[in-house]
């Protein structure tokens, strides 16, 4: 049980397993946050994987819900969100997934929630988060409010 997903590159050498927040909207937000921090992408070298895991681990806290392994060892055919294939911090493909894409939360709200869980000295300003998405349509259909997101644990 969970909202599982795996993030990997076209090479499918490594992958990040998410037990929670494995839907497209959350994964896009994790990737966008790493892009805004100007981290090297995972397909470039291991530092990209490390930074992605660091951001996600800071967001989750604790010791559960996140894994890193060779792709074939991960639960990518999981019945939830399958595998997100990424390149240059963007989702460029999907595998082991055939349902409707998760599109419940607004990108800015998710970015703020991720940002709030990072060390204070690494956090981005609200203005920089907002500016980064003004030209892009944020996911979500407008039905979820900030208070609703707080109630279900998306925002803290």
What percent of the chain has a predicted confidence (pLDDT) above 70? Answer: 85
121 assigned to some structural domain:
yes
- The predicted-structure confidence for 20-40, as pLDDT tens digits, reads as follows 999 999 999 999 999 999 999
Provide the residue count of the chain.
156
SS3 assignment, position 94: strand
Residue 31 · residue 89 · CB < 8 Å: yes
What are the beta bridge partners of residue 93? Answer: 85
Q: How does residue 135 score in pLDDT terms, banded at 50, 70 and 90?
A: low
How far is residue 15 from each of residues 49, 53, 63, 66, 85, measured CA to CA in Å?
Answer: 8, 10, 18, 11, 9
Name which of 120, 94, 95, 125 is nearest 108 in CA terms.
Answer: 125
21 assigned to some structural domain:
yes
Residue 154 · residue 105 · CB < 8 Å: yes
Mean pLDDT of 104-126: 97
Mean pLDDT of 86-102: 95
Mean pLDDT of 1-5: 86
95 assigned to some structural domain:
yes
132 assigned to some structural domain:
yes
Q: How does residue 142 score in pLDDT terms, banded at 50, 70 and 90?
A: very low
- Could you tell me the pTM of the whole model? 0.85
Q: What value does the mean pLDDT of the chain take? A: 88
117 assigned to some structural domain:
yes
**H/E run at residue 70:** strand 66-70
22 assigned to some structural domain:
yes
156 assigned to some structural domain:
no
43 assigned to some structural domain:
yes
Residue 105 · residue 140 · CB < 8 Å: yes
Provide the pLDDT for residue 134. Answer: 82
How many structural domains compose the chain? 1
Q: Which domain holds residue 79?
A: 5-151
What percent of the chain has a predicted confidence (pLDDT) above 90? Answer: 78
């Amino acid at each position: 049980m969970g909202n599982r997903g795996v993030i990997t590159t076209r090479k499918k050498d490594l992958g990040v397993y998410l037990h929670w927040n494995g839907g497209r909207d959350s994964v896009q937000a994790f990737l966008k946050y790493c892009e805004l921090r100007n981290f090297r992408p995972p397909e470039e070298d291991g530092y990209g994987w490390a930074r992605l895991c660091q951001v996600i681990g800071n967001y989750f806290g604790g010791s559960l819900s996140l894994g890193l392994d060779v792709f074939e060892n991960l639960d990518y055919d999981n019945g939830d969100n399958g595998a997100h294939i990424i390149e240059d911090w963007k989702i460029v493909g999907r595998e082991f997934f055939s349902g409707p894409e998760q599109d419940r939360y607004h990108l800015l709200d998710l970015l703020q929630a991720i940002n709030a869980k990072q060390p204070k000295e690494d956090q981005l300003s609200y203005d920089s988060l907002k500016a980064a998405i003004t030209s892009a349509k944020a996911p979500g259909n407008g039905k979820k409010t900030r208070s609703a997101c707080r109630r279900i644990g998306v925002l803290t």
